[in-house]
């Protein structure tokens, strides 16, 4: 069996090695010629899987995408050819939740105030949105949800988007990208909606770049410095609009979901699905793949301030490093190319390829050595305390 896998998918050899020959490929540049004799195709979000990619292949048994999003997959075409497909729903939700939580703590550190005093609105209350809410609620932050698709079938309370915009200090976006339908999300935050943001709103986008009209965002940010923006995803990836970058507080190259656990979970979910299709037992364990954190245990006496909480989260992941690298890589390249050449393909993709996967909070075991109650840190995701 020939298994063609994106080179940026960890643990493919460990999980699929027994099943056949593995060939790793650059997912963004994959051609129909390379795919034509594959039995299994494992992709990430940068590969458009459609008729033009699969047209020459008559033997494909499975296509898997180790991602939450499926906007790069022509599922109708796969269904028309009876090719089984699976993505990895929820695989990196914890990573996104922790990323957004850390980003909010970084903004507090930079601009003052207290996260506990903020009201945070989550747009899209599925896996990633709920993971952000879980972190915030563990820390007693007020969370409001907007999700017209599941409202009615989900027991949580939801409010309309305009109400959420009016009531929230922070808005975090977690919707899939959809171009049609009653609840389409393409440019959900268009110029009109961006203009309606309250004074001093913080807007985070960790879902898909085109949920925000990036040109309109540039226009508005130029006259509304009170709005603070965190962007992990960009319209037109891998070529973000350069003039937007200096207007953004924290800028990263679509890596909010890049925890080692999240990536391993993605590959593992595809392994489970393929084994099911092949009628075999999935007898490998995901846990055995993950190395221990370099310092797996920490003594915590108390969390005396939000700065200490930020310091604890920075122990796991210092978001400022990715932000700094992003600005250096994209903007340095752009000045060399005299602002006109937006082709930053390699810079953006290389940062993603070389990203040192951070760990999730759960990789760190906390030991409570003091009198104060730090058990709530387990609800935030850390291991040890309160368990």
Ligand X SMILES: NC(=O)c1ccc[n+]([C@@H]2O[C@H](COP(=O)([O-])OP(=O)(O)OC[C@H]3O[C@@H](n4cnc5c(N)ncnc54)[C@H](O)[C@@H]3O)[C@@H](O)[C@H]2O)c1
- The answer on whether 180 is annotated among ligand-binding residues is no
- Given the residues 237, 249, 261, 360, the one annotated as active site: 237
Backbone angles phi, psi at 154, to 5 degrees: -110, 135
Q: Shortest approach of ligand X to residue 160 CB, angstroms?
A: 10
Please give the biggest Cα pair distance in the chain. 66
Between CA 134 and CA 114 the distance in angstroms is: 18
Residue 147, burial from CB neighbour count under 10 angstroms (0-12, 13-18, 19+): buried
57, 65, 185, 259: which one binds ligand X (CB under 6 A): 185
- The answer on whether 257 is annotated among ligand-binding residues is yes
Q: Shortest approach of ligand X to residue 251 CB, angstroms?
A: 13
First to last CA, the chain: 44
Known catalytic residue at 208: yes
Beta carbons of 181 and 147 less than 8 angstroms apart = no
CA nearest to 259, candidates 159, 185, 334, 357: 357
Partner that binds at residue 240, options ligand X, ligand DEZ, none, CB closer than 5 to 8 Å by kind: none
Between CA 227 and CA 312 the distance in angstroms is: 27
256 binds ligand X (CB under 6 A): yes
Partner that binds at residue 8, options ligand DEZ, ligand X, none, CB closer than 5 to 8 Å by kind: ligand DEZ
Q: Under the rule (CB under 6 A), what is the footprint of ligand DEZ?
A: 8, 44-46, 67-69, 92, 257
Q: Shortest approach of ligand X to residue 151 CB, angstroms?
A: 8
Between CA 90 and CA 166 the distance in angstroms is: 29
Between CA 383 and CA 297 the distance in angstroms is: 9
97, 257, 347, 381: which one binds ligand X (CB under 6 A): 257
Between CA 282 and CA 273 the distance in angstroms is: 9
CB-based contacts of 182, cutoff 8 Å, min separation 6: 148
Q: Which is nearer to ligand DEZ, 146 or 265 (CB)?
A: 265
CA nearest to 238, candidates 259, 215, 216, 254: 254
Lay out the site mask for ligand X across 198-237 (x = CB under 6 A, - = otherwise).
--------xxx-----------------------xx----
Which residue's C-beta sits nearest to ligand X? 126
Please report where in the chains the tokens 């992941």 appear, as a residue. Answer: 317
Partner that binds at residue 286, options ligand X, ligand DEZ, none, CB closer than 5 to 8 Å by kind: none
Which part of the chain contacts ligand X (CB under 6 A), choosing from 169-177, 223-231, 274-282, 329-337? 169-177
Beta carbons of 157 and 196 less than 8 angstroms apart = no
- The answer on whether 342 is annotated among ligand-binding residues is no
Please report where in the chains the tokens 């879980």 appear, as a residue. Answer: 134
Q: Where are the beta strands (DSSP E) in 84-127?
A: 85-86, 119-123
329 binds ligand X (CB under 6 A): no
- Given the residues 44, 146, 208, 352, the one annotated as active site: 208
CA nearest to 182, candidates 212, 203, 157, 161: 161
- The answer on whether 67 is annotated among ligand-binding residues is yes
Known catalytic residue at 215: no
Partner that binds at residue 84, options ligand DEZ, ligand X, none, CB closer than 5 to 8 Å by kind: none
Between CA 73 and CA 45 the distance in angstroms is: 9
Q: Output DSSP code: residue 106.
A: H
- The answer on whether 381 is annotated among ligand-binding residues is no
Q: Which is nearer to ligand DEZ, 233 or 316 (CB)?
A: 233
Partner that binds at residue 214, options ligand DEZ, ligand X, none, CB closer than 5 to 8 Å by kind: none
- The answer on whether 187 is annotated among ligand-binding residues is no
Known catalytic residue at 358: no
Tokens representing residue 332 in the block: 């340095």
Partner that binds at residue 125, options ligand X, ligand DEZ, none, CB closer than 5 to 8 Å by kind: ligand X
Q: Shortest approach of ligand X to residue 262 CB, angstroms?
A: 8
Partner that binds at residue 93, options ligand X, ligand DEZ, none, CB closer than 5 to 8 Å by kind: ligand X
Give start and end residues of each alpha helix (H) in 197-339: 214-223, 260-278, 306-316, 319-336
Residues in contact with ligand X by CB under 6 A are 68-69, 90, 92-93, 96, 123-129, 146-150, 174-177, 183, 185, 188, 206-208, 232-233, 254, 256-257
Residues that constitute the known binding site for substrate: 45, 67, 258
Please give the positions annotated as active site. Answer: 208, 237, 254
Write out the binding residues for NAD(+). Answer: 147, 232, 257
């Amino acid at each position: 069996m020939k298994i063609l896998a994106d080179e940026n998918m960890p643990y493919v050899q460990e999980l699929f090695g027994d099943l056949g020959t593995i060939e790793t490929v650059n997912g963004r540049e994959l051609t129909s010629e390379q795919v034509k004799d594959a039995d299994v195709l494992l992709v990430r979000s940068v590969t458009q899987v459609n008729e033009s990619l699969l047209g020459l292949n008559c033997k494909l048994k499975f296509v898997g995408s180790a991602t939450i999003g499926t906007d790069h997959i022509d599922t109708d075409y796969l269904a028309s050819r009876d090719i089984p497909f699976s993505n990895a729903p929820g695989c990196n939700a914890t990573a996104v939740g922790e990323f957004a939580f850390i980003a909010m703590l970084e903004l507090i550190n930079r601009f003052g105030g207290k996260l506990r005093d903020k009201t945070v609105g989550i747009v899209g209350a599925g896996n990633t949105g709920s993971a952000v809410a879980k972190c915030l609620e563990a820390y007693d932050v007020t969370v409001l949800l907007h999700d017209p698709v599941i409202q009615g079938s989900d027991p949580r309370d939801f409010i309309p988007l305009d109400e959420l915009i009016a009531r929230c200090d922070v808005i975090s976006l977690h919707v899939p990208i959809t171009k049609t339908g009653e609840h389409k999300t393409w440019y959900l935050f268009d110029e009109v909606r961006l203009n309606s943001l309250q004074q001093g709103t913080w807007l985070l986008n960790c879902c898909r770049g085109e949920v925000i009209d990036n040109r309109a965002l540039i226009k508005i940010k130029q006259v509304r410095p009170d709005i603070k923006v965190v962007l992990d995803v960009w319209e037109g990836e891998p070529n973000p609009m350069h003039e937007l970058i200096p207007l953004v507080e924290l800028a990263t190259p679509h890596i909010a979901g890049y925890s080692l656990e999240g990536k391993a979970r993605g590959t593992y979910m595809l392994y489970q699905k393929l084994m099911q299709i092949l009628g075999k037992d999935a007898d490998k364990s995901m846990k055995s793949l993950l190395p221990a954190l370099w310092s797996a245990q920490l003594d915590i006496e108390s969390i005396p301030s939000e700065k200490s909480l930020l310091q604890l989260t920075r122990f796991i992941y210092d978001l400022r490093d990715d932000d700094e690298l992003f600005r250096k890589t994209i903007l340095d390249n752009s000045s060399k190319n005299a602002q006109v050449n937006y082709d930053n393909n390699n810079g953006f993709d290389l940062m993603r390829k070389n990203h040192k996967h951070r760990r999730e909070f759960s990789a760190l075991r906390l030991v409570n050595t003091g009198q104060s109650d730090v058990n709530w840190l387990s609800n935030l995701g850390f291991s040890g305390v309160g368990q």
